[in-house]
Structure 1
Amino acid sequence: MNVHEFQAKQLFGQFGVPVPRGREITSPEAGAAWAAELNTPVFVVKAQIHAGGRGKAGGVKITKDRAAVPGLVKELIGKTLITHQTGPKGREVRRLLIEEGAAIAKELYVSLLVDRDSGWPVFIASTEGGMEIEVVAERTPEKIIREAIDPAVGFQPHNGRNVAFALGLPSIEPAVVNPFIQMLGNLYRLFMEKNAAMVEINPLVITGDKKLIALDGKVSFDDNALFRHTDVQQMRDLNEEDPLEIEAGENNLNYIKLDGNIGCMVNGAGLAMATMDVIKLAGSEPANFLDVGGGATKETVAAGFRILLKDPNVKGIFINIFGGIVRCERIAHGVIEAAKEVKINVPLVVRLQGTNADEGRKLLAESGLKLEVANDLWEAAQKIVKLTGKAA
């Protein structure tokens, strides 16, 4: 689960990470009142959406004129921002963050996430703050610093010193070395205590008066641990999520919307990824990732059909089920009953493999439903692509 920048900074403040004074704003009147209270030489008005690239898209405004703040709020609220992360439809701005500006002397980058190879939390840092870290990694990988933290021991001062000295902080600004080490420890506490998946500050700035400030922040959380954190659950903004993904979550389905034209319904994440690959290999594009889980009951299949058919881009559906724990004839019954319940008006190809696959395929073939049955994954992919047409 992702949260807005202003929410990330609220969490930073709770854990002792320095942030600018700021507040969430949803109206020009609230903006004017907060600007009067803030009373700073520079006001920064930032659109709050779950996407990067807001500044380049015109979603960040800076002014020294307090009287101009309400007008900037009015300009941004309701605006659709299109960035490299929103897709062509963009995201509507419903809330803003208004905060004080900072006298920037140096910009750094710091993040904390789990290293997939070791399973340990790892700090990523760079002197190239303010840039997208992926660009830095591609162009100047030598400027990326990594410091893994042994979870059995936790963050130690020497971890912080390793990062600080690798960044050259004693030369850049000696006064911030100890505050920087303390800040890394606080970020680690936030990461572990809140079951975060990623914490990022970009940029982390050194100000003209030799202070550290998290000028921008992102935090995402492990969905599987949200039940432990009611405070984090309350930060969820459904306006920032795809309605179909919300519906899938309510039905305990793992669904991610994509841009293709073939809806996929598969049991098991690995098989779902392979199905998407083979659709592309056959000449088309998957419209989604949808894992119905190991059960694939009538209810889950029906919910999957409803979600897929609500996507106007879906021109055909490919069901790919491996019957292991659940036998294929039971899955076939579930597909048949669900198909009768939900009106399916696009081509449907079903591939069953595993325990009692022959019996399951026979049930589908004799069901009277308008569908194609396949034995082989490649055969099934070719069938659905032929029925729907290759992607443009």
Structure 2
Amino acid sequence: MNLHEYQAKELLKKYNVPVQEGIAVETVAAAEEAYRQIKTQTNNKFAVVKAQIHAGGRGKGKVIETGMNGVKVGKSVEDISSYANGILGGTLVTIQTGEAGKKVNKILVAQDVYYEGPNPTKELYLSILLDRSKGQNVIMYSTEGGMDIEEVAHHTPEKIFKELVHPSGGLQPFQARKIAFNFGLTGEAFKNCVKFVTNLYNAYVGLDASMIEINPFFKTSDDKMIAVDCKMNLDDNALMRHADIAALRDVTEEDPTEVEAGQFNLNFVKLDGNVGCMVNGAGLAMATMDMIKLAGGEPANFLDVGGTANAQTVEAGFRIIMKDPNVKAILINIFGGIVRCDRVAAGVIEAYNKLGNINIPIIVRLQGTNAAEAKKLIDESGLKVQSAILLSEAADLVKLAVA
């Protein structure tokens, strides 16, 4: 589950991670009031307006309707009002959103941390995620933080450092000090960085996060270390331990079909192809998509109905797949182990009759317990559903359907 910047920062504060303070608002009037509060608290006339969407690259992104960037710095209530008006309700396109962009429903009015002081400031980069190839958490960091971190990773990968952390041992003090040293920090900034990295790792573990990215990780002119931005992704499988955090989910930022699929406990990911897939089991779903590719088609989705497929889940799967206008055929591939094939076949027939007006080819491949009985049910149903026993047969039928 992805979180907005303002939500992630509130969670980090619970783990004593210093953040750039701000107030999330939904209207221009509220943005103006937030600015006045921040100006009073910080005695600084500068403030930052940030679009709140689940995507990076906001600083370089543009609002389609106004041409305004997704992050703006203002120094008066008039500036804040203008920026809020130009961002709120608009569609922000960034390098991560694609051409469609994302609608901005909230903005964050945040304090300015680029104030003058005795020492130079630094924009750094810091993130924590799981390195699946190593089976360990990894802290990735760089002295080249800011809006161009992707270019740094592409052109100068030697400037990206990695520190592996074994899950059972946790982050060791020497590792936090090593990170601060590689950042080139000294004195008070060094000490503050060690505390920051340690607390951030505790937050990563305590929140069951799968990724936390701080960019920029900022050293202020008075040697404080602050999270100016934060992107956070939490492990969906651990949300049962965090009911309060699960309530932060913003479904308006997610694909509507994926949200609907989740309501039926279906694992669904929308793709760009022309063949809808309905399969039980993630491994079989991946193999099915490979077969579709080999047959000359392109998968339109990943849909795992799980091990308890029935008429209700099949019907829900049908409805979700058919909302995609690019789908030219549907392949249902079920291996009957826990669930009997004839029961699934009955579910397919029932769902087909309920939905009606299905004018695209449907290929059903059922294998396993009672596969022969299932094929007979499909063949004798009188519906425009083609059955197959072998996966190769199903692939050939798909090829003919999308030719």
TM-score range, shorter chain: over 0.9
Separation in structure 2 between the aligned mates of residue 174 and residue 280 of structure 1, nearest angstrom: 58
1:44 aligns with 2:44: no
List runs of 5+ in structure 2 lacking aligned partners: 62-68, 115-119
For 1:147, which of 163, 171, 177 is the aligned residue?
163
Separation in structure 1 between the aligned mates of residue 21 and residue 172 of structure 2, nearest angstrom: 29
1:94 aligns with 2:105: yes
Question: Aligned residue for 1:176?
Answer: 189
Q: Is the deviation greater in 102-111 or in 41-50?
A: 102-111
Is the Cα contact below 8 Å between 1:111 and 1:124 reproduced in 2? Answer: yes
Question: Aligned residue for 1:158?
Answer: 174
SS across alignment from 1:259: coil
SS across alignment from 1:169: coil
Give the drift of 1:131.
4.7
Distance 1:59 1:110, change over 3 A: same
Question: How do 1:123-134 residues align onto structure 2 when only pairs under 5 Å count?
Answer: 123-131=139-147
Give the drift of 1:160.
0.4
SS across alignment from 2:3: coil
SS across alignment from 1:183: helix
Question: How do 1:207-356 residues align onto structure 2 when only pairs under 5 Å count?
Answer: 207-343=220-356, 344-356=358-370
Question: How do 1:183-202 residues align onto structure 2 when only pairs under 5 Å count?
Answer: 183-202=196-215
Give the drift of 1:134.
5.2
Question: Aligned residue for 1:16?
Answer: 16
SS across alignment from 2:353: helix
Give the drift of 1:315.
2.5
Question: Aligned residue for 2:88?
Answer: 77
Question: Aligned residue for 1:68?
Answer: 79
Give the drift of 1:208.
2.1
% same residue? 52
Question: Aligned residue for 2:64?
Answer: none
Q: CA RMSD in A?
A: 1.9
SS across alignment from 2:98: coil
Is the Cα contact below 8 Å between 1:43 and 1:66 reproduced in 2? Answer: no
The letter of the residue matching 1:384 is: V
Is the Cα contact below 8 Å between 1:262 and 1:284 reproduced in 2? Answer: yes
Is the Cα contact below 8 Å between 2:25 and 2:109 reproduced in 1? Answer: yes
Separation in structure 2 between the aligned mates of residue 188 and residue 258 of structure 1, nearest angstrom: 34
Give the drift of 1:135.
4.4
For 1:105, which of 121, 126, 140 is the aligned residue?
121
The letter of the residue matching 1:358 is: A
Is the Cα contact below 8 Å between 2:20 and 2:229 reproduced in 1? Answer: no
The letter of the residue matching 2:368 is: G
Is the Cα contact below 8 Å between 1:164 and 1:181 reproduced in 2? Answer: yes
Give the drift of 1:132.
6.0
List runs of 5+ in structure 1 lacking aligned partners: none
Distance 1:118 1:5, change over 3 A: same
Give the drift of 1:245.
1.1
For 2:57, which of 53, 56, 67 is the aligned residue?
53
Separation in structure 1 between the aligned mates of residue 130 and residue 33 of structure 2, nearest angstrom: 41
Separation in structure 1 between the aligned mates of residue 337 and residue 33 of structure 2, nearest angstrom: 62
1:371 aligns with 2:385: yes
Separation in structure 1 between the aligned mates of residue 123 and residue 393 of structure 2, nearest angstrom: 54
Is the Cα contact below 8 Å between 2:129 and 2:211 reproduced in 1? Answer: yes
The letter of the residue matching 1:354 is: G
Is the Cα contact below 8 Å between 2:3 and 2:231 reproduced in 1? Answer: yes
